[in-house]
Structure 1
């Protein structure tokens, strides 16, 4: 199939790592069956000279790329850009990414969603203990890099147990109050109007101060840390209710201006219905989600059918279908 016979042509500008994890042969084969082709954008040539495209899928950074993309959008306003650079930039900073979550007023959604109390640190590490005390944050604290740039380092965490060790941290960073959540988090993947959830192991609960200093953790919710088949306490393993995720995904799609992102969601231990969003990631590792090929190709077809429609996010009626459902090929 060439681009002239395709229903939808997707130009992609991705890192080599993203291409390997996302554009798998199974996805490309299914896409071709549905009339979708993926065409690599040549980053050495002006974007305005390439195409035609129906959709531009991108996850690269840099001022030059952003300017080219904005220029392209002015010339070809009917081309769908996934997603607008300004909206993506908003969630690449941990100070701004959770601001819209803090404004949420969910009603009748079978749960409460908040963000942990947090503090942005950009100055002298020696001042961190006094700044934390003034802000009233309670130890232990999770320390995260301020900027999310797609590197493994930007997802590395540290857990600080005492005031003295705070001076050993390296700003710029975000400090979040640690919330006990049973050692499990829920990665909520939002692809247009589709939502999928998988369980991941997370930091263990802290009932008492287990020690002094700072404990560093690599990327906690990696694919290797899947908790889907683990023998967990049912209260810990239970997926968030569909009503809650429907409300949450619909609200955040609107507030963030994004159609392709995921949430790291935890449930506070002992509450049953009190959740916290601790991170938001743009264009996450969809290749780790069962059946992502069907989800993503259906999403692209929906874009082609109506570029102006803004459907609300929806979930299967059975919560377990969210986790394991692989939609049938159309």
Structure 2
């Protein structure tokens, strides 16, 4: 039995208001045995912050889910998980050691329940520095060297640098995203559909006054995008000159800015399904204008949720979506290596090219509510997880939290 207690510990999104879930009395088992089995609802227990629940569980999703026999039930975090349900699927986006421990214990006690997604894998993705760390465990040393060299020769990716004073495990972690993308390219051979890389990056966890020297040693070129180390911190900055670098607040990751025509591609992954949405992004930066753009430009995130570019009159070379085969291979490999089924990647196409792309960010359980038709994609995905007949379980009243 999982022990009770409040979940989240105040870390990140772990602080969620408790919701009481009332269960209808169980029918007598002998009567059930004599009666023909009726179609049973697919019960999805969810543990989300109130903000996330509101944006994700929109009326159009709830309505379609009901029609398809899917019931969303709020998890009461004041009670042990094993005392609730029964659930077919647990959907969550909470952080914190206590929540991870409770969920792992629940998974061990109830292996028949699908948990979306494993808390350990989510934690890796939430930290920009250790994101995709598991690639370091792959036996791909030969291909890594070749892929890295090829990426540098092509001007795509260029590798990631670290400060000399960083710990050894951090040095391995900061290479993870670049190495993962490079190894996928090398192993799958999807170069015929396009080249994918990661901009040069630098992990900074030192006195701000020393950042300009560290940037120079690492060989990074201005301007640089400054990203907080924790991925859920969405405020980003664009630093144009060395002086502006000293105004940043570590720990953070500095990433070379790549001109991309002011458009990025939000690639949503829901199981095997892939959907791509164009978003307006930062405009191109003219190197000759850098002296006129001194300082730090702060913005909420690379892409603005309200700035959908799908219906805009754009240059066809800028608006053209990445090739479908390239996205399918990339999504498949990331699913397999990350152990996640719900995430998105932000991709850009280098301005002036047609087949040179960069992955600039990844997020677990992104804002699917902004994805057109997400209610159909998500309900189909949930139903696809049911691979066998479930035993008849007690049904719920319409208490959906």
Name the TM-score, length of structure 1 as normaliser. Answer: 0.88
The alpha carbon displacement at 1:33 in A equals 1.4
Instruction: Say whether the 8 Å CA contact 1:200–1:227 is kept in structure 2.
Output: yes
What does residue range 35-184 of structure 1 map to in structure 2 within 5 Å?
Answer: 35-97=69-131, 98-99=177-178, 100-105=180-185, 106-108=188-190, 110-149=193-232, 154-184=233-263
- SS of residue paired to 2:241: coil
Structure 2: how far apart are the matches of 1:30 and 1:211?
Answer: 49
The corresponding residue for 2:397 is none
The corresponding residue for 1:28 is 62
- SS of residue paired to 1:96: coil
The alpha carbon displacement at 1:305 in A equals 2.1
The alpha carbon displacement at 1:268 in A equals 0.5
Structure 2: how far apart are the matches of 1:60 and 1:80?
Answer: 16
The C-alpha deviation readout for 1:14-63, integer Å capped at 9, x for no partner, is 01111111111211121111111111100111112111111100011111
Structure 2: how far apart are the matches of 1:6 and 1:283?
Answer: 27
The corresponding residue for 2:309 is 227
Structure 2: how far apart are the matches of 1:278 and 1:159?
Answer: 14
The C-alpha deviation readout for 1:47-99, integer Å capped at 9, x for no partner, is 12111111100011111111110110110012111000111011111112235
Structure 1: how far apart are the matches of 2:338 and 2:51?
Answer: 25
Instruction: Say whether the 8 Å CA contact 1:129–1:163 is kept in structure 2.
Output: yes
Structure 2: how far apart are the matches of 1:306 and 1:203?
Answer: 47
The alpha carbon displacement at 1:225 in A equals 1.2
The corresponding residue for 1:316 is none
- From 25, 42, 46, give the equivalent of 1:8: 42
Can you give the 5+ residue segments of structure 2 that lack an aligned partner in the other structure?
1-23, 27-37, 132-176, 390-401
Structure 2: how far apart are the matches of 1:158 and 1:224?
Answer: 19
The corresponding residue for 1:315 is none
Instruction: Say whether the 8 Å CA contact 2:344–2:363 is kept in structure 1.
Output: yes
The alpha carbon displacement at 1:104 in A equals 2.4
Between 102-111 and 294-303, report the one with greater CA deviation: 102-111
Name the TM-score, length of structure 2 as normaliser. Answer: 0.73
The alpha carbon displacement at 1:5 in A equals 5.1
Instruction: Say whether the 8 Å CA contact 1:6–1:36 is kept in structure 2.
Output: no
Instruction: Say whether the 8 Å CA contact 1:6–1:37 is kept in structure 2.
Output: no
1:281 is the counterpart of 2:363: yes
The C-alpha deviation readout for 1:250-272, integer Å capped at 9, x for no partner, is 11111111000000000001121
Give the paired residue count. Answer: 303
What does residue range 292-303 of structure 1 map to in structure 2 within 5 Å?
Answer: 292-303=374-385
Instruction: Say whether the 8 Å CA contact 2:95–2:123 is kept in structure 1.
Output: no
The alpha carbon displacement at 1:131 in A equals 0.9
Instruction: Say whether the 8 Å CA contact 1:48–1:71 is kept in structure 2.
Output: no
Q: Which has the larger radius of gyration?
A: 2
- Structure 1: 4+ residue segments shifted above 6 A: none
Structure 2: how far apart are the matches of 1:295 and 1:141?
Answer: 36
1:205 is the counterpart of 2:284: yes
The alpha carbon displacement at 1:103 in A equals 3.4
Can you give the 5+ residue segments of structure 1 that lack an aligned partner in the other structure?
308-330
